[in-house]
């Protein structure tokens, strides 16, 4: 088995991609309130700053900043995934299981990238906010409800028409267009 090496920087800022096992699912947005509660519960036990987030039907992207002296982002994701899964079980949502009995809701691992500097942070936050447009879910960033973009707009950090309309864009926000 491959042993993944994680860059653990105490007090670091990280970009994450976390995905459901079923890439055709819409469970995350269908149960967005349960996901928000899972984040709140995890943050009460293991605090962190949620700098940016977008929740799509079957995956999410987020940027966290951990407290000084703390590098346990894996424990935080374990809590978030666990709380969300428990909420779905309590709602009697039928969830499949692996042959070993574990829930087959989430992909076992997640992608993580350590944010290096302010430019890297800005690039990843832009990527997060633009992601619903990239996936063809909405024509404008502000049309997607499950995004920290709205917090950035209300805080005066971004304009409500940031990135314009998908049909007019020339930027790829980190990924080449197909």
Parent domain of 20: 13-126
Report the alpha-carbon distance of residue 18 to residue 109 in Å, rounded: 8
Beta carbons within 8 Å of 98's beta carbon, 6+ residues apart: 104
User: Helix/strand/coil (H, E, C) string of 25-74?
Assistant: CCHHHHCHHHHHHHHHHHHHHCCCEEEEEEECCCEEEEEEECCCCCCCHH
Q: Please list the pLDDT of the chain residue by residue as tens digits (178 residues).
A: 566 677 888 899 999 999 999 999 999 999 999 999 999 999 999 999 999 999 999 999 999 999 999 999 999 999 999 999 999 989 988 888 878 878 878 998 899 999 999 999 999 999 999 999 999 999 999 999 999 999 999 999 999 999 888 766 555 555 544 4
141 domain residue, yes or no: no
Helix (H, G, I), strand (E, B) or coil at 19: strand
Could you tell me if residue 40 is inside a domain? Answer: yes
User: For residue 143, is it within any domain?
Assistant: no
Number of domains in the chain: 1
Neighbours of 168 (CB within 10 A): 9
Tell me, yes or no, whether 2 lies in a domain.
no
């Amino acid at each position: 088995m491959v042993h993944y090496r994680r860059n653990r920087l105490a007090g670091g800022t990280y970009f994450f991609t976390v995905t459901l096992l079923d890439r055709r699912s819409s469970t995350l947005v269908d149960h967005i309130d349960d996901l928000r509660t899972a984040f709140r519960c995890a943050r009460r036990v293991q605090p962190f700053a949620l700098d940016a987030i977008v929740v799509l039907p079957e995956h999410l992207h987020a940027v966290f900043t951990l407290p000084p002296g703390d590098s346990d982002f894996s424990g935080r994701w374990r809590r978030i995934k666990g709380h969300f899964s428990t909420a779905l079980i309590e709602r009697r949502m039928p969830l499949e299981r692996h042959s070993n009995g574990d829930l087959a809701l989430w992909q076992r691992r997640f992608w993580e990238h350590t944010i290096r500097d302010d430019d890297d942070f800005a690039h990843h936050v832009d990527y997060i906010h633009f992601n619903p447009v990239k996936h063809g879910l909405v024509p404008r960033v502000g049309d997607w409800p499950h995004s920290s973009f709205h917090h950035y707009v209300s805080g005066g950090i971004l304009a409500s028409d940031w990135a314009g309309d998908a049909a007019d864009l020339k930027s790829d926000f980190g990924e080449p267009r197909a």
